[in-house]
């Protein structure tokens, strides 16, 4: 069965994605900060990968970058492009440096994790409904899962990854779903999809005309991959119907905000 939603059919998404990268030398120390002429071709190469460098901190023992990234970039691809292109540029400039195999990648945004999770939990309370009984009925479709701690990193042989996303889907034409069975199916399938794809949902709110989740993504999946997984599988659960607008919002967050890296 062909998916209803594909990268080629989506409208331009709304996104605010910030990834951080930290790297360490293997045996020696990093060279001094290279001059501006070193960075121009490197920045151009990263731009071609969908990465735009925003901030950096450079020392002999640690290099840290913050990038704005496009939604098609997964953490695995991001970490490989940052390290690979930097290492190549240093070698080309006569500053060959051996990097440790271990790196750290994280997500960061303008909001902290606790704020994003609280915002999702407040979805029902912030809406105005004519019938208070309907409002109370909706509460069962907001879920907080204490077993998913987004402060905890995904650990691999290559390092540690904190990959936290705030994802929003909108019902097609802002149609309002009032059927409790349908809302319950969307809620339950959201967790099934997350389990199948290797995601961890810490907070979920299924509202009549939109859907919010804060989650730990699979580091091999880009934010767009994650959005398409929910768009397509939730549509399938509801009879292969295009119930969602062909777009999404994806934002990153973590324990710190952008002020911490500026």
Where does CATH 3.30.70.1290 sit in the chain?
15-108, 111-254
Average pLDDT, the chain: 96
pLDDT band at 261 (very low <50, low <70, confident <90, very high): confident
Q: What is the pLDDT of residues 181-225, one digit of tens each?
A: 999 999 999 999 999 999 999 999 999 999 999 999 999 999 999
Q: Using pLDDT thresholds of 50, 70 and 90, give the confidence band for residue 262.
A: confident
pLDDT tops 90 at residue 260 = no
Average pLDDT over residues 217-237: 98
Confidence of residue 246 (pLDDT cuts 50, 70, 90): very high
Whole-angstrom distance, CA of residue 68 vs CA of residue 149: 24
**43-56: average pLDDT:** 98
**pLDDT tens profile 174-189:** 899 999 999 999 999 9
User: Does residue 1 surpass a pLDDT of 80?
Assistant: no
Question: How would CATH label the architecture of 111-254?
Answer: 2-Layer Sandwich (3.30)
Cα(195)–Cα(208) distance, rounded to whole angstroms? 24
Region 67-77: mean pLDDT is: 98
**Which residue in this structure is represented by tokens 């919010």?**
212
Top CATH class, 15-108? alpha beta
Q: Name every residue whose Cβ is closer than 8 Å to that of residue 166 and which is 6 or more positions away in sequence.
A: 109, 116, 120, 212, 213, 214, 249, 250, 251, 252, 253
């Amino acid at each position: 069965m062909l998916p209803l939603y594909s990268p080629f059919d989506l409208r331009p998404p709304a996104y605010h994605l910030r990834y951080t990268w930290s790297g360490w030398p293997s045996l020696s120390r990093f060279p001094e900060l290279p001059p501006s002429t070193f960075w121009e071709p490197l920045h151009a190469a990263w731009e071609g990968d969908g990465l735009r460098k925003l901030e950096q901190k450079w020392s002999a023992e640690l290099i840290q970058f913050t990038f704005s990234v496009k939604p098609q970039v997964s953490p695995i691809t991001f970490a490989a492009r940052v390290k690979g292109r930097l290492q190549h540029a240093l070698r080309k400039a006569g500053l060959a440096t051996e990097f440790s195999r271990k790196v750290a990648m994280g997500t960061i945004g303008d909001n902290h994790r606790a704020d994003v999770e609280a915002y999702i939990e407040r979805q029902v309370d912030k809406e105005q409904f004519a019938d208070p009984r309907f409002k109370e009925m909706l509460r069962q479709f907001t879920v907080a899962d204490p077993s998913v701690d987004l402060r905890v990193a995904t650990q691999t042989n290559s390092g540690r990854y904190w990959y936290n996303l705030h994802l929003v889907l909108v019902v097609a034409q802002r149609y309002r779903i009032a059927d409790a069975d349908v809302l319950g199916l969307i809620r339950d399938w959201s967790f099934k999809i997350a389990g199948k794809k290797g995601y961890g949902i810490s907070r979920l709110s299924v509202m009549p005309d939109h859907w919010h989740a804060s989650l730990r993504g699979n580091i091999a999946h880009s934010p767009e991959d994650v959005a398409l997984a929910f768009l397509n599988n939730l549509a399938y659960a509801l009879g292969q119907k295009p119930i969602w607008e062909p777009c999404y919002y994806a934002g990153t967050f973590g324990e710190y905000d952008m002020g911490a890296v500026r």
